[in-house]
Amino acid sequence: MRKDKLVAALLQAIALSALAGLMIITVFIFKEGLPLIFRTGLKDFFFSADWEPGKGNFGIMSMIIGSLAVTLGAMLIGGTLGLGMAIVLTQFCPPKLASLIKPTIELLAGIPSVVYGFMGVVTLVPIIRNYLGGPGLSVLAASIVLGIMVLPTVTSISIDALKAVPRSYWEGSVALGATRWQTTHMLMLKAARSGIVAAIILGMGRALGETMAVIMVAGNALEVPGSVLDPVRTLTSNIALEMGYASGEHREALFATGVTLFAVIMIFNTIALSFARRTIRQGRGQ
Amino acid sequence: MNPKIETKKLNLFYGNFHSLMDISISIPAQSITAIIGPSGCGKSTLLRCFNRMNELIPEVKIEGQILLDGEDIHKPGTNLIRLRRRVGMVFQRPNPFPLSIAENITYGLRVHGTPEGQKPADIVEKSLRGTLLWDEVKDNLNGPALALSAEQQQRLCISRVLAIEPEILLMDEPCSALDPIATDHIEDLMRDLAQKYTIIIVTHNMQQASRVSSYSAFMLMGELIEFGRTSRIFKNPGDTRTESYISGRYG
Ligand SMILES: Nc1ncnc2c1ncn2[C@@H]1O[C@H](COP(=O)(O)OP(=O)(O)OP(=O)(O)O)[C@@H](O)[C@H]1O
Ligand SMILES: [Mg+2]
């Protein structure tokens, strides 16, 4: 009995310390970053593209746009592909084959991001430079690399969402004469809608937070991109690139960039979570 | 007697498991035929042969013939979509789609197209009236179908099938998820529908079979033991196994 209590207390302590760790990190980031945002002014911080730490200009708009462009591009590519794969694997492919392919896709998530970045630099960037023009290091390159990186997230969560749709719906539709494809787009996608939205949003969160691979292929130029072939710098890249030598206000500004990222990702995750909960409730037929 | 659908020496295997053995049955048009028998005897399997739903299960092998209006439904070139339109199915658990009430009814129209000169809204009304659901839901056609009661859901599922104007209605224990009063209502509805449709119902409930059906088929372990007028089967069964099942000696 006493041993049980001891173990319970120990586990509680571990859980609490993990939570406390998270809290401390959050508080720290906000404490370091928030004052600068207010000192610079919300308008000059978020809506100015002037980032010259030496002169005291801390406008992050070009990086916000960079992050959004790259994330959007990644979702256009990775979201479409991932959802497409989930549809094929759950609706059209023999279950045995699907149960073989799904873990393979999930394995993609385990490859370190440098490897993705490296592959991008070696293969993708030259192709873009030679065939489409521009420096090659670009929004497009980053979007494609990120699109592939979010594939496992989008695919596996979408698969789970589609699999959670009761089989009785599917049978009802087929018994009415609907083809597989009609059943998929008229019924399954609608029934799994919230889970699929959750998958896309979680994928977006991943794309937005990814750093290493993006630094390697995005070009990191401090300007608002005019086309998908232009180089960009994202919020995460900015922090990673400058943290090494930043001090004083510059360092604070990087933390402020972190605060921005943190807020956006929190919003994404909250939305995703609320959609995921809805799916579970629907699955129970409530 | 003019059979609407008949099977000739129908055999079905789930992998190595011989589930239906040499079933030959002729089901008369515009009447209710009940399929009865103990659990696992193959009632659902037989029912699902009529709209070829068994083929969706991997490793199913089917031998023998099924004739719908004299035509083999397994003939190469058979239009499966048209077959499933002619042979509608209502399931054991009400399975309305997670869409609105109206969208549930128009689902089949989107698959098969709306007949020339008819409006979807009219078909929605007609189908819902056909199951006496119209008055209960007419002000809430865009409301979620899943919010209806179990009985209403089952009526909706029947309406959904009626909307595509089938010729045969397959019903696999359509009342087993309903309370006695709702069951009563659905049975009334079935008698009504039998004026127009050929209904085949699987049921575990002997009273239900004797109440609603004109013909009964008794199955045991994959075999069709006896088929005939319900009144005759229940009063004067020709096989001792039928007799002992009806009088409650089997599970
Ligand atoms: N998909 C399947 N794969 C393998 N065997 C199956 C499958 N479906 C049914 N069977 C077997 O076929 C036999 C007949 O099943 P079926 O569902 O037709 O019985 P039933 O008469 O409808 O029973 P119940 O009254 O319990 O619904 C059973 O022994 C069952 O185990
Ligand atoms: Mg059954």
CATH number of residue A94's parent domain:
1.10.3720.10
The protein residue with its alpha carbon nearest to ligand 1, atom 29, reads B40
- pLDDT (tens digit per residue) in B60-100: 999 999 999 989 999 998 899 999 999 999 999 999 999 99
Give the domain extent around A78: 63-253+265-285
Please report residues of A whose CB lies closer than 8 A to that of B93: 168
* Alpha-carbon distance A197 to nearest alpha carbon in chain B (angstroms): 17
**Could you give the residue ranges of the DSSP H alpha helices within chain A?**
2-40, 42-46, 61-74, 80-87, 95-107, 113-119, 125-127, 139-163, 167-175, 180-183, 189-191, 193-209, 212-218, 235-242, 248-283
Mean pLDDT of A36-55: 92
Mean pLDDT of A132-155: 95
Q: What is the ipTM of this complex?
A: 0.90
Top pLDDT among A171 and A269 is at: A171
Looking at the 3D structure of chain A, how many domains does it have?
A: 1
* Alpha-carbon distance B136 to nearest alpha carbon in chain A (angstroms): 21
Give the domain extent around B42: 3-95+168-246
Residue B223 lies in a domain: yes
Please report residues of A whose CB lies closer than 8 A to that of B157: 172
Residue A4 lies in a domain: no
Among candidates B130, B148, B132, which has minimal Cα distance to B140?
A: B148
Between vectors from CA A45 to CA A140 and to CA A200, what angle results, nearest 5°?
40
Residue A237, classed as helix, strand or coil, is helix
- pLDDT (tens digit per residue) in A211-243: 999 999 999 999 999 999 999 999 999 999 999
Residue A15 lies in a domain: no
Among candidates B212, B192, B209, which has minimal Cα distance to B130?
A: B192
* Whole-angstrom distance, CA of residue B129 vs CA of residue B125: 6
Cβ pair B112:A177 closer than 8 A: yes
Half-sphere exposure of residue B111, counting CA atoms within 13 Å on the CB side?
A: 33
Q: Please, what is the average pLDDT of chain B?
A: 92
pLDDT score of B250 = 55
- pLDDT (tens digit per residue) in B238-249: 888 988 888 875
Cβ pair A177:B85 closer than 8 A: yes
Residues with CB under 5 A from ligand 2 (ion): B 44
Token code pair at residue A132: 């489409």
Cβ pair A169:B99 closer than 8 A: no
Mean pLDDT of A99-120: 92
pLDDT score of A228 = 93
Q: What is the CATH number of the domain that holds B71?
A: 3.40.50.300
Please report residues of B whose CB lies closer than 8 A to that of A175: 51, 53, 84, 88-89, 91
Of residues B56, B99, B111, nearest to A178 (C-beta): B111
* Alpha-carbon distance B232 to nearest alpha carbon in chain A (angstroms): 33
Looking at the 3D structure of chain B, how many domains does it have?
A: 1
- pLDDT (tens digit per residue) in B42-55: 999 999 999 999 98
Please report residues of B whose CB lies closer than 8 A to that of A99: none
Mean pLDDT of B19-45: 94
pLDDT score of B3 = 87
Q: Please, what is the average pLDDT of chain A?
A: 91
Residues in B whose CB is inside 8 Å of some CB of A read 51, 53, 56, 58, 80-85, 88-89, 91, 93, 95-99, 107-108, 110-112, 146, 157, 160-161, 164
- pLDDT (tens digit per residue) in A159-201: 999 999 999 999 999 999 999 999 999 999 999 998 999 899 9
Atom index in ligand 1 nearest the CA of residue B41 equals 21
Mean pLDDT of A127-137: 94
Atom index in ligand 1 nearest the CA of residue B38 equals 25
- Expressed in angstroms and rounded, the spacing between residue B176 Cα and the centre of ligand 2 is 11
Residue from B11, B35, B45 whose mutation best tests the ligand 1 pocket (most atoms within 8 A of CB):
B45
For ligand 1, say whether the CB of B16 is within 6 Å of any of its atoms: no
For ligand 1, say whether the CB of B39 is within 6 Å of any of its atoms: yes
- Stated as kind and residue range, the H or E segment containing B210 is helix B206-212
* Whole-angstrom distance, CA of residue A28 vs CA of residue B177: 57
- Expressed in angstroms and rounded, the spacing between residue A184 Cα and the centre of ligand 2 is 26
* Whole-angstrom distance, CA of residue B138 vs CA of residue B121: 11
pLDDT score of A3 = 83
Q: Residue B84 to residues A74, A194, B50, B107, B169: CA-CA distances in angstroms?
A: 42, 30, 9, 14, 10
Three-state SS letters, B107-168: HHHHHHCCCCCCCHHHHHHHHHHHCCCHHHHHHHCCCEHHHCCHHHHHHHHHHHHHCCCCCE
Token code pair at residue A266: 């929190």
Mean pLDDT of B23-49: 94
- pLDDT (tens digit per residue) in B180-218: 888 888 898 899 889 999 999 999 988 899 999 999 999
* Whole-angstrom distance, CA of residue A237 vs CA of residue A231: 12
Query: Other CB atoms closer than 10 Å to residue A20's CB: what's the count?
Result: 10
Of residues B56, B99, B161, nearest to A174 (C-beta): B56
Q: Is B94 exposed, middle or buried (0-12, 13-18, 19+ CB in 10 A)?
A: buried
pLDDT score of A1 = 67
Residue A54 lies in a domain: no
CA nearest to A283 within chain B = B98
Among candidates A17, A145, A163, A19, which has minimal Cα distance to A77?
A: A145
Q: Residue B173 to residues B31, B90, B201, B202, B216: CA-CA distances in angstroms?
A: 17, 9, 7, 5, 14
pLDDT score of A285 = 43
* Alpha-carbon distance B157 to nearest alpha carbon in chain A (angstroms): 9
Q: Is B181 exposed, middle or buried (0-12, 13-18, 19+ CB in 10 A)?
A: exposed
Of residues B88, B96, B99, nearest to A190 (C-beta): B99
* Whole-angstrom distance, CA of residue A199 vs CA of residue A177: 30
